[in-house]
Amino acid sequence: MNMPPYPTVRLMPKGDARAIRHGYPWVYANELVTDRRTKGLTPGALAVLEDANRVPLGLVTVNPASKIICRMLDRDPEAVIDTDWFTAKLSRALAHRARLYAQPFYRLVHAEADGLPGVVIDRFGDVAVIQPNAAWADALIEPLTEALVQVTGVSTVILNASGRARSLEGLDDRMAVLRGTAPEAPIPVPMNGATYMADVTGGQKTGLFFDQRPNHAFAAGLARDARVLDMFSHVGGFGLAALAGGAASVLAVDGSEPALTLAAQGAAAMGVTDRFTTRKGDAFAVLEALAEEGETFDLVVCDPPAFAPGKSALEAGLRAYERVARLAAALVTDGGYLMLCSCSHAADLTRFRNASARGIGRAGRRGQVIQTGFAGPDHPLLPHLAESGYLKAVTFRL
């Protein structure tokens, strides 16, 4: 068989070929022979990766502008990355989600864990939103989109390309409608008995965070007849789930007025506006203000943005998580519950839990861990890649 005309790139002797063979999907720039030819490859180019002895390891995408210089696409070095290849990947991903959920609202593709490195696709019924966080997906967006329509039958595909991951790849932010027509209004998303409003063109990321679904459900189970505080609420994630679970009242706090507006629209769609209030402001300032006002809650949930998005920010991020825990613990009734979340992959579960426990202790409280949660099963974890298991949620009873 004739090999496709792919260039080759080669690991240095210190490169861990065994890890690649066992499923690790990345090669860092300091592990690859980066001669002039390799440095001259277009970001997103395809190449055959060889070990130091020139034995092929598979087909990779190369980005000389990124610290992650190679991402594994296919163990077959002769693979052809076309619409049929994407169709096979997406069909496998869809079969898993269709078994999990009766309604088509979920993360359809979770990057490396679904064999499409750097690619996130969230589905909102008849609308799919693609977030291509790697250069190769930008370059091959058309066959990816065509396969997505063929496999799922969605009529609208939106490209929402923004965020830190793209900047690390040397990519610009951009938004485009690839198929169909962009929705004129937020999309109602049913989840855990609640209704969320997803702004798929102007919201954060793809418009809604599906990853917290099981943690929303656990919090809802604690919320019956409870006064609930939902900090960093975005479009009402934990708060609306708590109302569906029978909460007596929910206060949702976020720094974004548009997000709080969507949260209020979700509450209206559920018919629970009488039990739902919002408050815009800096989370730390609001936590301090609530304490000064003498407010207490039976359940407090804090789901902040990533305070430690990379190793360089780890120590500062852990201090921020500790501060959140300290301020939030002061607002929890005796015997009440505090759920603390982190989406920072650089802060592993042990470090995050320890920082949270220190904060609780500094507030003069003591707590027992009653549950540890992670992302839902539509966000599979690649066991070789710790970064794919970024989300942690630890619930304390104080």
Which residue, 315, 302, 240, 252, is CA-closest to 280? 252
pLDDT of 4 reads: 58
The CATH topology of domain 8-74 is 2.30.130
Residues 6 or more apart whose Cβ sits within 8 Å of residue 141: 130, 132, 159, 178
Instruction: Indicate left, alpha or beta for 271 from its phi (over 0: left) and psi (-120 to 50: alpha).
Output: left
191-217 per-position pLDDT tens digit: 999 999 999 988 666 789 999 999 999
Residue 381's identity, in one-letter code, is: L
93-129 per-position pLDDT tens digit: 999 999 999 999 999 999 999 999 999 999 999 999 9
The CATH topology of domain 83-179 is Transcription Regulator spoIIAA (3.30.750)
342-363 per-position pLDDT tens digit: 999 889 999 999 999 999 999 9
Number of Cβ within a 10 Å radius of residue 87: 17
What average pLDDT does the chain have? 94
Instruction: Indicate left, alpha or beta for 281 from its phi (over 0: left) and psi (-120 to 50: alpha).
Output: left
pLDDT of 3 reads: 52
- Annotated catalytic residues are 343
Domain ranges in the chain are: 8-74, 83-179, 190-397
pLDDT of 1 reads: 42
pLDDT at 309 over 90: no
pLDDT of 165 reads: 76
Please name the residue ranges forming H helices in the chain. 17-21, 36-39, 83-100, 135-139, 141-152, 164-168, 213-222, 237-244, 257-270, 283-292, 314-329, 349-362
Contact in structure between 23 and 1 (CB atoms under 8 Å): no
pLDDT of 203 reads: 67
More confident of the two residues 167 and 365: 365
pLDDT at 12 over 80: yes
CA-only gyration radius of the chain, Å: 22
pLDDT at 29 over 90: yes
pLDDT of 132 reads: 92
% of the chain surpassing 90 pLDDT = 88
pLDDT of 171 reads: 81
Predicted confidence band of residue 337 (pLDDT cuts 50, 70, 90): very high
pLDDT at 222 over 70: yes
Architecture field, domain 190-397: 3-Layer(aba) Sandwich (3.40)
Residue 100's identity, in one-letter code, is: L
Contact in structure between 317 and 347 (CB atoms under 8 Å): yes
> Mean pLDDT lowest for which of 19-28, 176-185, 203-212, 375-384?
203-212
